[in-house]
Amino acid sequence: MTQGFGQRMGARRRVGAGLILIMMALALTGCSTYAERNARLRDDVARHDFDKALEGIAEAERGSDRLLNLLEKGLVLHYADRWTESNAVFQEAEELADDLYTKSVSQAVVSLLTNDGTIDYRAAPFEMAMVPYFRSLNYVAMGDRDGALVEARKAELRLRDLAEVERALDQNDQESAVSLDDHAFVHILRGMLHEWGGEINDAFLAYRRAALAYGATGGVLGVKAPSCLGSDLVRTAGRLGFSDELAEIQTVLPNLFIEPDLPQGRVGRVVLFLETGWVPRRTSIEADIPIFESDRRGDMDLWASSLQSRYVYGWGRDVKISYWLRFALPDLIGEAPVIVGARVSTGTLGGHARTEPVESVASRSRLDFESSKDGILLKTIGRALSKYLAKEAIEDKSQLAGLLANVFGAATERADTRNWLTLPHGISMARLDLPPGTYDLEIELVDARDRIVDVRSIKDVAVRADGWVFLSRRVF
């Protein structure tokens, strides 16, 4: 009697333990992705409810998302006009990014058992290349020209470092790769900041880099050099006596110098950056692929590679399928912004300009994603295959254990949907050369058919002779 009771209790404990493990595994399926945890972030930012956005970032934070949370927080603080705090957070993000890039990838083993979301997020080089832009604007807004100039000098070094990281990661194929060392928009920003600070030689070199970069990458990114860049080169080269250097650029990029607009007399320059829309976001899609009875199971790498080809190119009909291997893959979704540019006017003769696209964050995001798709697919299939084989091995000894292994494998299979959600879709720029004075700017926001969607204004813009005024607006 006592022995039977003990046996029954032991059986119940085993069943209970099994149920607990199943419940734990099922609980894992409720673990949301980064995009799901931050579902309200864009809406909060678009409503200018920045305090709520910051609260949401803090609530959604996970240890492996530390860098991404810092980038999101730094940008939200920037839009909230909390410039000093924003720069402090961006500084922390840059230091953490440097640390992560130099560390050994010890978390890779864990990711093979669970998913890529368990690895510390290492921002894409194009994402980190945007940090100098926002930090420079923070310094400008604080009236700290020296700080902005330091950021301009750091930007060139950071772009070089990011290019080295990109080459080390070897993610981009040779045909579609866009070298971040040739980040044209950051270079033209550097040029304007250097000229504002009286560093004309550095300004010319930065403008030159921008011109060559637009020429090299504009076709891939869908962005060409702004019309003011030719004038910038002519003006700074003239002050330096760099006629030979200018002639060299004119030979390579003749279309850049068609009737350059050189204002007469001493003027000040107003620069307006218009950030529109949202960068594409990553989401998760479910996928499956058949395992054939005839599959050779000896070499895991070869098997995973053959399954990758099967997923991409399909398979014939005369096969016997023994199992459907399920897994999750990231996908990139996004929409073009309704507002694509603006007409800017001071209400004075000659005081008008149109914005021109100078940076497509969306295009860089898509290039980065496309270049990494094959590697992500192969790794994901390899991980799913390892879980499948583990399930089979365990199942041979215990059906319950096999069931638990299968549930755990399904529960932990999550696509890595992390990316910097609050970045804009793109940036356009308007330049006004104005006589000294104080102006009210009227900004007509237009859609792709040049219809006015909204009208904004910026009051009391003070322009000094040979001075620079940098303004930025984000349209959500």
Give the DSSP letter string of 51-83: HHHHHHHHHH--GGGHHHHHHHHHHHHHHTT-H
Are residues 213 and 339 located together in one domain of the fold? no
Q: Are 248 and 208 in contact (CB under 8 A)?
A: no
Are residues 348 and 460 located together in one domain of the fold? yes
Contacts with 400 (C-beta within 8 Å, 6 or more apart), sequence order = 14, 18
Distances, alpha carbon 420 to alpha carbons 75, 93, 458, in Å:
10, 12, 29
Whether residue 228 lies inside any domain: the answer is yes
Whether residue 211 lies inside any domain: the answer is yes
Q: Are 349 and 291 in contact (CB under 8 A)?
A: no
Whether residue 474 lies inside any domain: the answer is yes
CATH number at residue 429: 2.60.40.10
The pTM assigned to this predicted structure is 0.86
Per-residue pLDDT, 148: 96
Q: Write down the residue that tokens 């957070």 correspond to.
A: 89
Are residues 224 and 275 located together in one domain of the fold? no
Whether residue 341 lies inside any domain: the answer is yes
Are residues 161 and 220 located together in one domain of the fold? yes
Are residues 351 and 476 located together in one domain of the fold? yes
Contacts with 56 (C-beta within 8 Å, 6 or more apart), sequence order = 38, 40, 41, 44
Per-residue pLDDT, 73: 98
Are residues 466 and 347 located together in one domain of the fold? yes
Q: Residue 340's Cα: distance from chain center in Å?
A: 19
Burial 389-399 (b: 16+ CB within 10 A, else e): ebbeebbeeee
Q: Domains in the chain: how many in total?
A: 2
Q: Are 386 and 300 in contact (CB under 8 A)?
A: yes
Are residues 339 and 256 located together in one domain of the fold? no
Residue-range definition of the domain harbouring residue 468: 267-280+335-360+425-476
Are residues 245 and 276 located together in one domain of the fold? no
Secondary structure (DSSP) of 357-375: EEE-HHHHHHHHHHHHHHH
Single out the residue of 63, 43, 62, 61 nearest to residue 53, CA to CA: 43
Whether residue 196 lies inside any domain: the answer is yes
Are residues 191 and 271 located together in one domain of the fold? no
Are residues 271 and 247 located together in one domain of the fold? no
Whether residue 307 lies inside any domain: the answer is no
Alpha-carbon torsion angle 104, 109, 110, 115, nearest 10? 100
Whether residue 475 lies inside any domain: the answer is yes
Q: Which of 220, 236, 262 is the last residue of a domain?
A: 262
Query: What is the mean pLDDT for each group of 10 consecutive residues in the chain (476 residues)?
Result: 43 42 44 81 97 95 91 98 98 93 53 61 92 97 96 87 64 46 89 97 96 90 94 95 95 83 78 98 92 90 94 91 92 95 93 96 94 92 86 64 48 80 98 95 97 97 96 95
Q: Collapsing DSSP states into helix, strand and coil, what is residue 170?
A: coil
Q: Collapsing DSSP states into helix, strand and coil, what is residue 331?
A: strand
Q: Which of 205, 236, 262 is the last residue of a domain?
A: 262
Single out the residue of 275, 292, 282, 280 nearest to residue 329, CA to CA: 282
Sheet holding 452-463, edge to edge: 352-354, 341-345, 437-446, 452-463
Q: Collapsing DSSP states into helix, strand and coil, what is residue 123?
A: coil
Residues facing residue 426 across a β-bridge: 276
Per-residue pLDDT, 231: 92
- Distance separating alpha carbons of residues 271 and 357, to the nearest angstrom: 13
Q: Which of 262, 288, 317 is the last residue of a domain?
A: 262
Are residues 356 and 444 located together in one domain of the fold? yes
Whether residue 11 lies inside any domain: the answer is no
Single out the residue of 221, 222, 275 nearest to residue 424, CA to CA: 275
Provide the residue type at 6 as one letter: G
Are residues 350 and 444 located together in one domain of the fold? yes
